[in-house]
Structure formats: structure tokens, C-alpha cells
Amino acid sequence: MSFNLELNFSGIAAFIPTDDYDYPIAVVMPGLDREKTSLDDEELCPHNSYLDWTGRKRALKGRFVTLEVDYEQSPGYLPPQLPKELINLGITLKELCVLDPGLLKYTSPPRPELVMTRILLPAGAEYTAPQNNPGWKVDPLGNGHAVEGAIAHTVSVRYTGLTSATACLEAMDDSVEPEELPLIPDDGTEVIVNFTNTCKELPSSPKHRKGLRDRDFKWYYELLSHEAKDKIAEIIDRDSRDLPIPRRMNPMNQSIMTVAIFDCYPGQMGNYTSAQVPLQRSKRPRD
């Protein structure tokens, strides 16, 4: 009997279209064991990532995750359609949205150290934003355009009519043997798996915070190429401004009212000149 699989992503998670027909979307969760300084000199918190299904957890830090699914009937191929509520940095940054060329590489270097977890999603999924918050704005940089309205707090990735599903985990440094997690429904009809990337610890002293905001959104800018980051640094230094993050809007006059206290929203990224980013899959042999 077939079943359905639902993956829910929350926290800092970059959805990146790839050039791989079988795995058209890669999700990169950035983070480090230590704090990092952002392009506008704010401290970014250390992060943890994990998956959770039916109360069972697996730490994902330092892991590649490849989802493998089999269908009862082939769904045919349709290009993935990411939800419009997913913040698209390709819109806010425009030509400044150029990813680090090593971002989806298997080895490090060239893969940057801050790629904490990479999840490959196979074709055939439906992408929705079941949890979204209205009344937000992300300002543009350079020639980009603002993103306004409802933004996704959670992104749901749903596969239907499956006969099997497995999450394959590999250590990025080959320190442990690969692990396969069979995603089997307890009730025979549905499996729900949650992927989360959240702060390892929050600054305890008010002096470490700026405007009572969570700075996590600025991790996305760390995924850009060195050239793009240099150009962005020049812009924010010249204009004496911060990196754009989600901000609440005043519904009366549409002006910025307050800064987000929690801004760990998923985002969409890709190269401005090409929607698809080259993907290097793992070395693990596949049938």
C-alpha cells in the first residue's frame, strides 16, 4: 500500500534549484560551532540542525542528507514550483545574488565550512507554505526589489503515492559510516519529518543584541560568492545601513514599524544569471 511523505523545513534553510534532473532542489542549512561576524559587523549565533520524525531525532551537523523515494506510479517530471511566500533573495539582491561556486560541492574545499547540512530533494514533490506570517518586508540591495506581504515561516515538501522512502545520511568528513533511515509510516498512510536549523545558543546579554532582533537571516548573505559579498559590503558601508532582514510593516502607512524579533525564515537562493546551480552528489554508489 502506498503512503505519503511530508517534510517540514523551518529555521535558516536555503532552497536552491540545481542542475540535477533527479534532485532539482538542494536545501543548505548554514552554521558554525562558533559565532561569526556578518558583513555588517553583527555576530551570528552558532547553529544546530536536526531531523525529527515521530519523536526520533538525528543531528545533521556535518551531514549530507539524500532523500530516496520510490513511487507506486511514476508521477512524471514537473519542474519544482517553490511557494511565492518563500523569501527570494534573487529578487531582493538581483545581480548581487551569486552563490559561492563551491556551495553544492561534495568536498571541502571548495565547499565552504559554513555549509552545516545539505539535503537533496528528489523530483515529484509539491512545495507549499502552510505557515506564513503576513505584514512583512525585506528591503532590496543594489538594483533589487523589495519583498513584501506574507512570508513563509515553514516550507512543506510533500510526496504522494510512495512505496518506500529513505533518508541517507553521510558524514561530510567521512568520520562515520553512512546511515540509512527508513521512513516508514506508523499508521500505514503518512510519514511526517521535520528539518530544523536553529540557534545553538542565544546571546544572554542585551549588549550582544541590536534592536532586539534575531540576526539569523544574515546567514544567507554568507552563502554568496566572495565577489558578491565584497560588493554588498561596499554598498552597506557607503550607505551606512544594515543588511536587509525581514521587518514588520505598519498596516496604516506601510512604513517599517519594527524589526523582527524572530527572523529564522527559510529562503530561496540561486545565481542571478542562471536559476540552476551545479550540484555534485555524494560518492556513495547507487543502484
pLDDT for 261 beyond 80: no
Q: What is the pLDDT of residues 204-253, one digit of tens each?
A: 444 444 444 557 899 999 999 999 999 999 999 999 999 999 888 776 54
* 28: in domain: yes
Model confidence, pTM: 0.91
* 285: in domain: no
CA gap 256, 136 in Å, rounded: 9
Beta pairing partners, 168: 66, 180
* 12: in domain: yes
Cell numbers representing residue 129 in the block: 507554505
CA gap 159, 55 in Å, rounded: 21
Helix (H) or strand (E) holding 248: strand 247-249
* 284: in domain: no
* 280: in domain: no
* 273: in domain: no
Looking at the structure of the chain, the number of domains it has is 1
In three-state secondary structure terms, 21 is coil
* 166: in domain: yes
Q: What is the pLDDT of residues 24-59, one digit of tens each?
A: 999 999 999 888 999 999 888 888 999 998 888 999
> Can you give the length of the chain in residues?
287
Q: How far from 182 is each of 9, 165, 189, 191, CA to CA, in Å?
A: 19, 6, 15, 11
Mind giving me the DSSP string for 146-163?
Answer: -EEEEEEEEEEEEEEEEE
Those residues whose C-beta lies under 8 Å from the C-beta of residue 183, and which sit 6 or more positions away, are: 5, 53, 165, 166, 167, 191, 193
Domain that holds residue 113: 3-268
Cell numbers representing residue 63 in the block: 551531514
* 8: in domain: yes
